Structure 1
Amino acid sequence: MRPQFISSRGNEYFCEIDEDYLTDRFNLTGLNTEVQYYQYALDLITDVFDLDCDDDMRETIEKSARHLYGLIHARYIVTTRGLAKMLDKYKKADFGKCPRVFCHSHPLLPMGQTDIPHQKPVKLYCVRCEDVYNPKSSRHAAIDGAYFGTSFHNIMFQVYPALVPPKSADRYIPRVYGFKVHASAALIRWQNTQRADMLRRLRKLEIESGFKEDVGDEDLEEEDEEEDDIELEGMEGDAMHVVG
């Protein structure tokens, strides 16, 4: 089953688990309580399955076998042999490349956000920018993150420290006609504008805002008075036009 599973479309993130690892029951401790039809699923993975069953039963066992393989895979890839296999795939960028422009297509590594199955799907980690991304393919995005675990990508770079690239100092700098945009100043202006609009609406509705009065509030009152004067002048003009 293993060669077929690895070669199946959507399973490119997985490496093939060694036969010796699968037959050592110590490596599978505790998994029998987490997988339905555990023994049949294991027999299917190790190609010794000989149960005569109907199609529905076999489909259920195959589903359990895929889940069992994923759980074993999470344990296997943190072993010396497993890390070496995943390293080969990493060097070939089998997991994809970082979409961030300033990472210059640096290879990614799969990772889980939890070690508990059926909680969160797999994500992709870039060691250069130290950020996490979603897989591009929907098939890959449906893979359980627990099949890779939360420690694998960190262990990889602990075992192979030479893989850690220098951190990119490049950052996108917003500019307007060549001049840098001061982010904090722009944020403050936006916040002040939003606050002023809100206070103006609350005053018109005669609702107490609860904000501490400041110079900006006095300016708002003057603006409100000017708006009221303009509205009154407009109404008087309309009235005179009607009388005339």
Structure 2
Amino acid sequence: MSEESQYSEHPGGWIEWFCAHEDHQFLCEVDDDYICDPFNLIGIKGKFNFFNEAINMILQPTSPEDQDLEDERFLEVYQEASDIYGLLHARFIFTSKGSAIMRERYLQGKFGHCPRIYCEKHNVIPIGLCEDLKTARIKVFCPRCEEVYMPKKKCADIDGAYFGKSFPQFLLMTYPDLHPKFQLLPDTQIQVDFEPTLFGFKIAGKQGSKMKKIEQQLQYNHIITQSNIQQIEQNIIKQEQKQYQIQKQQQQEQQDQQLHQQQQSDQNKEKPHKKKNKKKHKQ
């Protein structure tokens, strides 16, 4: 028996059986009280044909038997039960209890690690690229490089809607200590990003790794501290504001130039008209 099953709130039930499936290891167990609360079911009930049967299946205290999995009717209800549980799961992980469970699993590396070499196997967070069912499968988000990857673990049967697009950002905002920049020790040194070269020479047009703006301003083997990170962030904001002002000024100059050209064009059109009027008066 695994450690998670020992502390399960649904020993031997459908929820524990469902979450213990090899493809469902990213999912946590949603409380029965949360599932039974009508408020949490708003917007879900109307999407399914066997909603009541599916809810009863989810709340069953026993797991399905092998013969049940051969019944076509059971499989239809099971498919809807899986999606209903997934949508409830996407809401449950935004609660205080749900986010606390996911925080512990994230710290334990249950969701895997970033495949990027320079992230040094940083833990990743599940993310869905769409809120709608049957649109995209689950992906993982790395807080360090802020990129999305295919999970290495077997999660082929998890729909991205079971987590949603906002969960990684919500988790990092709820628990700021999880953010990579707060986890760096005073003597931590940043890794340089990969830069492609040919016989020691840089290749024109090849930038290599996608470097974050903060990393671009940190020199090789430069010690990261909270103070210089904040200073760099402020410099980046100032640079962006300066660029915005320059762009705005350029746009204004272009508009003024276009307006001036339009006025000149209108004046040129009026001159021949005035000459014609003068000729008519002379005649």
TM-score computed with the length of structure 2 as normaliser: 0.60
Gaps of at least 5 residues in structure 1 are: 186-244
Counterparts of 1:34-183 in structure 2, within 5 Å, are: 34-47=47-60, 55-137=71-153, 139-166=154-181, 170-183=192-205
Shift in Å at residue 24 of structure 1?
Answer: 1.1
Shift in Å at residue 162 of structure 1?
Answer: 1.2
Q: Give the letter aligned to residue 42 of structure 1.
A: I
Q: Which runs of 4+ in 1 moved over 6 A?
A: none
> Given that residues 35 and 67 in structure 1 are in contact (C-alpha distance below 8 angstroms), is that contact kept between their aligned partners in structure 2?
no
Q: Give the letter aligned to residue 195 of structure 2.
A: I
Gaps of at least 5 residues in structure 2 are: 1-13, 63-67, 185-189, 208-283
2-side partners of 1:95 and 1:184: how far apart?
A: 32
SS in 2 for 1:96: coil
1-side partners of 2:177 and 2:163: how far apart?
A: 22
2-side partners of 1:21 and 1:70: how far apart?
A: 13
Q: 1:178 to 1:184 in 2, by over 3 A?
A: closer
Q: Give the letter aligned to residue 194 of structure 2.
A: Y
2-side partners of 1:60 and 1:184: how far apart?
A: 51
Give identity over the alignment, percent: 35
- Corresponding residue number in structure 1 for 2:271: none
Q: Number of residue pairs matched? A: 181
Q: 1:163 to 1:184 in 2, by over 3 A?
A: closer
- Corresponding residue number in structure 2 for 1:17: 30
Q: 1:170 to 1:36 in 2, by over 3 A?
A: farther
> Given that residues 24 and 157 in structure 2 are in contact (C-alpha distance below 8 angstroms), is that contact kept between their aligned partners in structure 1?
no
